[in-house]
Structures are given as structure tokens and as C-alpha cells.
Chain A
């Protein structure tokens, strides 16, 4: 074998070894960028390299049409009318390479294909990129005394980082990184490209989010982002926990607590946005959440009356611009079911001049209940009003009575808005959840915001020293069942 031929064979073996090693490095560091799965001796490599704009939150990108190129310098302010986007990643640049047998020592890689997904780089810029990449190898060859070296890792790094990639293409000057000047992309149809870049960026962010593990501070487990939700405030929790939390709040009517569970957000009283609520709970719950919120807002108005239709119960406002005393101030028309009724007696609207029909008073029901079965008077009443109607009244009366008894026994009405409150534990100084009135749970008196506890230290007052009720519920006397004398 001639000397030169042997030498070139040795060289080719050396090249082969370097190429294999280079491939292994790329495969271990950037497995996602390599399109081919295994190393092949033919040396065809396809690299798909996304351009990462920042490590941080996002960076501004402005798209300008190419014809503005000339005026670009004179009219920098014009970028404001061009689409300006906040992005974290630009779509990848694909490099199709053929590695000659004497790469990397004697020849550079042959760039057989180079393009940017979504076409965000013009042909001109791609040519510039190709020339720049090749020149890197040439510089290496010069410095290495005529022998080049494996260059692909450097190329990937050059493209991956926006500083170097957009920098070498003249799309971003150095001071862009210091200042707030956005990176500039030229494209014939800016709006179209903007849309594509945005959707690519959103997809990338979502992918990155779903592949990252997050520590959910509610269930105290580490959970894949795919099963997590990043709320508007930026806090991340697992979806299952948010479903439980907000579901519970919505079912219990506690709309104010539907918000980020983070202690800071809770203290600030941050409420969840509708978008976030929709992402977490099902549509039925969203409907209820919206209804509760609306109701809460409306209930701040003391003139609100709830629609007497059992299925409806919609809060109805007092009509606007109605003169008091005209009779019309009693009219309410439910916006939800259309029922028109009298705000005083809650019956079908009976006109402004007619008095409310005599309601079956408590007295009447008690009297009816006290009448002996089959007595003449009872039968007469039954004939007059209908037995079924009377029985219904009795049932209603008993139900109301039980309700009232329970309310009187176990709750205290807020002196501000009248809402009933049941206390499960804690001191007798209450703050109304609805109208924020401070009051005493024992006697229902209003308390001063400046000195709510003074009430409990006023001598002679029945609540003196009664900030706490110390008797425990278990000590209450309970009748023993079956011991009926």
C-alpha cells in the first residue's frame, strides 16, 4: 500500500473516531435536538435546535415588514405599531448535515439543508447563518495548523442561545440585552408570523410546564406539571387539590375563598379569575360559582328580595325611580323567571292600590290546629278554604316554627344586615361575613370597631366577662331516651 494511501486511511479512522465521539456527546447533552436515533457511518445528521430567548420570564420580539428596512433606523418608534410579542422561545432551526469521511480534520460538515420552522428567518438570513457557521470551522482549522476539529456542539450552542444566534444575524445588538430594545424579525406578513410564533411559544411553554415536577403544597407531593395548574398569580398546585378545595368552597357557598391557596394570596384576599375557575371545576360548578358571586354582590343591597318561586329564589332589586308611597315600590319582577310579585306579601302582584290579601296569620293556623277533629267549625273552615290548603298551611307553619326555634336557639342575627350566624367555636366577638359589622354573639349588640372588647369588660352588663362561654356542650342536660315516666 502506498504511503499516502495508508496515511489517509489512518486519518479516516481518526476522523471516524472523533465523529462517533461527537455524536455521543450530542446525544447525551441534547437528545431532543437529534432527529436520528443512532449513529450511522454515512454521517447524515439532522439537528433541530430551538432558539431560547431567555432563561427568565419572556422577551420582547417585534416583527417588521421587509420594505420598512430602509426607514428602520429613521423611524424606530414605528415598532410600536408592529406586532410586539413577549416570547420565551423561537421555533427551531433545522440543520441537515452530511459529514464527509474526512470531517472534522480536513473538511467541514456539508450543510445540505437549513431552515427555520414557521419561516421566521428569511433566505438571506439563512445564507448568512450558513456562512457564519462554516467560518467557525475554518477559523478552527487555521488555528489548528491545518486540522479542523469537531464543531457541531459549538454550532448547537451558537444557535440555541438567542444572544449569539440573533446577534450574529444582526437581529439584536448588544445593547438590546442591557436595554429594553426588542429583537427584530423581518417578515412580509407580520401578523401571520406573530400568530405562529405565539402559538409555538405557548406550546413550548406548556410542554416545559407539563414535563417539570412541581411540589404541590396542599397534598405535599411532587406532581408532574401535566397534572398541575399554574394560577394567574403564578402559584402552582396540583389540579386534584384545587378541584377539592374550590369544589368544597363552591358547594358550601363560600365564594370568597375560591382563590389561590397560597397564604400570601389568602391574606390579600385574591380571588380566582373566571378563566382559572373554568380550568379547575366542571361547568355545573362554574355556573354555581358565578351565581353565588352575583348573589353576594346583589345582597350588599338591603332592598333585595328573593323571588318567592321555590325553584327560582333569584335576588330581585327594588325598581329604580319609583316614588315611595305610590304603591309601586312594592312591585318586583324577577329577572330570572319573570314572576311579578309584591315585595311585602310575596304573592302575585296585586296592583299598587290593592292591599295585600289577608294572609293566613299564625293566629289563624293555631286556632285551626286547636279545633277538634270533625268539629262543626273545623269542617266549615275546611269547606271554605279546602282541606288540602289548610293541611298545607299547617305543615308550613310547623316547618316555619321549627326553623324559627332553631334560629332563635342556635344562631344570632347580625345587627347590621340581619344575616343569621351560627358560632361553632371561638370568642363571642363576631365579625359579620356579609356586611363586616362587629357584634356580640351573646346579645346581638353592635360593637365598636375601635374597641370591640370593651363590651365584655363593661361592669354590670350581662356580657361582662363573657368574651368566652366556658360551659361545654356535653354538660348540657339531655333527656335519656326510654326513661319516660
Chain B
């Protein structure tokens, strides 16, 4: 179908010529059907300052079938799988229209970062975190943006006060959106740190939830 090639080429050229929008598209392996889209994290969100890469695969029947997109850059967001980068967005499924372009779809992804839909989550754990404590969620999302998307250094609470020798471990705690004090508390009982992080993250041991989760319950999980 050379109509597909013509349209994709046009879209790539249009995107190159449009200096005003901050969405870029480039070829991944010299095929116009496997591309990489890049956009900036939206302002006034934890993703601000980050640069997000999206893997784009143009299906055979494009533009009559939706384009396949997933995040290459790791993103901490309720509608994006933190492990695979898969995206839950209606226009990538049933609401796709042949009028939508790579650029408009990337812009939709950008605005998805502005407005998470925790009730239709792609990543249940992240969604729970978002619902429990918006502040803590934002800190973690900002930290991920810093680590993976080249966002600005995170100041304050997340990066603890005495960060010197065990920087890497500190990272792990912030990455999971947990608090160092909580991890230390259970680690001191003799559990391996990574296990503690895994369990606390799974239990959503954050914000108001901490008071609701019995310590015995955590230990029980740790012993499993």
C-alpha cells in the first residue's frame, strides 16, 4: 500500500517543518514504519523538563488501523505501564480515526501526562499510589522524570538528607515512591532491603495508608 508510505512521509516532513510544536519524529531503523517520537513533559506537571521517547510502529493498514505506540522512556503514570511502557488511551484503540496523525497522537500522549485517569489505569500499583497520596505520587513521578527522562534534579524530601555512600539504594526507595524511614524500619528487622521495598510498594505503604496497614501484616508479607 503505497498510500501508507506517502502519508507517513508527509507526516514526517510536516513534523520536521513545524518548528512551533515541540514534537519530533525520527526513523529508528531506516524504515518509515518504525519511528521514534519525542516530546517534552508538559509544564506544571511532575514530568516538566523531561524528554519522553515513544516507540511508534505503523501497522500495515495505517491510517485505517491505529498506530502502535508505547513509551521507550520509563514513565511513572497511572495510564502507562511502569514495566513495559504500554499505554491505555482510547484513541490508540476503539476511538482511533484515520484523521489522527502521528503528531496529533503524540500531542494526545503529552496531554495524557497532564491529566491522568486513575479510574482506567494501565498500571494498577501506580494508580493506587496516585489515589493514596497525590504529593508522594508527584515526588516519585518527578524522580522518575529526573532519572529516566533527563528532568531537573529533585530537591527536598525525596532525595534524603544524608546521601553519600549508599546513593544507589536511596534511588531504589525513591523510585518505588517509598520513604527511607519505613524501609529502614523493616530492614532493621533483618529482611533484605530489596524485599522490603518490593513488599512495601505492593502494599502501597504510603501516606494515609501507613496508618491503616498493620506492621504484622507487612512482616507476614515479608515472610512469604
Give the contacting residue for B122; candidates A217, A220, A244, A427; CB below 8 A.
Answer: A427
Query: B212 an interface residue at 8 Å Cβ cutoff?
Result: no
Query: What's the Cα separation between A479 and B176 when bound, in Å?
Result: 39
Which residue of A245, A261, A456 has the most chain B CB atoms within 10 A of its CB atom? Answer: A261
A453 touches B121 (CB 8 A): yes
State which residues 1-47 of B face A: CB under 8 Å.
1, 3, 6-7, 10-11, 14
B211 is an interface residue with CB less than 8 A from chain A: no
How many chain B residues have a CB neighbour from A under 8 Å? 32
Complex interface: stretch among B88-96, B141-149, B162-170, B183-191? B88-96
Across the A-B interface, give the 4 residue pairs with the lowest CB-CB distance, nearest first.
Answer: A263-B97, A266-B97, A261-B98, A217-B99
Q: Do A467 and B124 contact each other (CB < 8 Å), given the known contacts A220-B7, A244-B3, A425-B68? A: yes
Per-residue CB contact flags for chain A residues 196-226 toward chain B (1 = under 8 Å, else 0) read 0000000000000000000001111100000
Binding-face segment, B48-56, B79-87, B132-140, B151-159:
B79-87
| Interface set, chain A 370-417, CB cutoff 8 A to B | none
Bound Cα distance from A219 to B98, whole angstroms? 9
Report 27 cross-chain contacts, Cβ distance below 8 Å, ordered by A residue.
Answer: A217-B99, A218-B98, A218-B99, A219-B3, A219-B6, A219-B7, A220-B14, A240-B3, A244-B64, A248-B61, A249-B64, A261-B97, A266-B96, A266-B97, A425-B68, A425-B86, A426-B88, A427-B88, A453-B121, A453-B124, A456-B124, A465-B124, A467-B122, A467-B123, A468-B86, A468-B122, A470-B83
Q: Does B219 contact A (CB under 8 A)?
A: no
- Pairwise interchain contact B124-A248, C-beta atoms closer than 8 A: no
Q: Are B63 and A218 in contact (CB under 8 A)?
A: yes
| Mask: chain A, 261-286; 1 = CB below 8 Å from B; 0 = not | 11101110000000000000000000
CB atoms of B83 and A468 under 8 A apart = yes
The CA-CA distance from A107 to B57 in the complex, in Å, is 75
How close is B123's CB to chain A, nearest CB, in angstroms? 8
* B65 closest partner in A (C-beta): A248
Measured in the bound complex, the distance between the Cα atoms of B2 and A240 in whole Å is 13
Beta-carbon nearest neighbor of B124 in chain A: A457
Decide yes or no whether B100 CB sits under 8 A from chain A. yes
The B contact surface, by secondary structure, is: loop
Interface size class of A (residues with CB under 8 A): 20 to 34
- Docked CA distance A467–B125 (Å): 11
Give a binary string over B92-129; 1 marks a CB under 8 Å from any A CB, 0 the rest.
01011111110000000000000000000111110110
**Residues of B close to A217: CB separation below 8 A:** 98-99
Given A263-B97, A453-B121, 5 more pairs with CB closer than 8 A: A244-B64, A261-B99, A263-B100, A265-B97, A426-B93
Residues of chain B lying within 8 A (CB to CB) of residue A240: 3
- Assembled-state Cα–Cα distance A453/B81 (Å): 14
Knowing A217-B99, A261-B99, A266-B95, say if A468 contacts B81 (CB, 8 Å): yes
Query: How long is the Cα–Cα vector from A456 to B121 in the complex, in angstroms?
Result: 11
Give chain B residues whose Cβ lies under 8 Å from the Cβ of A426: 86, 88, 93
A98 in the interface (beta carbon within 8 A): no
In the assembled complex, A241 has its CB within 8 A of some CB on chain B = yes
For A262, give its contact among B63, B64, B99 (CB under 8 Å). B99
Closest B residue, CB atoms, query A455: B124
Tell me if B64 and A248 are in contact (CB < 8 A): yes
For residue A218, which residues in chain B have a CB less than 8 angstroms away from its CB?
A: 7, 63, 98-99
Least CB separation from B127: chain A residue: A453
Give bound CA distance, A466 to B127, whole Å: 15
Report B224 CB to chain A, min CB distance, Å: 11
Give the nearest-CB partner of A216 in chain B. Answer: B99
Nearest CB of A to B16, in Å: 14
| B56 CB to nearest A CB, Å | 14
Q: How far is the CA of A470 from the CA of B121 in the complex (A)?
A: 17
Question: Once bound together, how far apart are the Cα atoms of A218 and B98, in whole Å?
Answer: 6
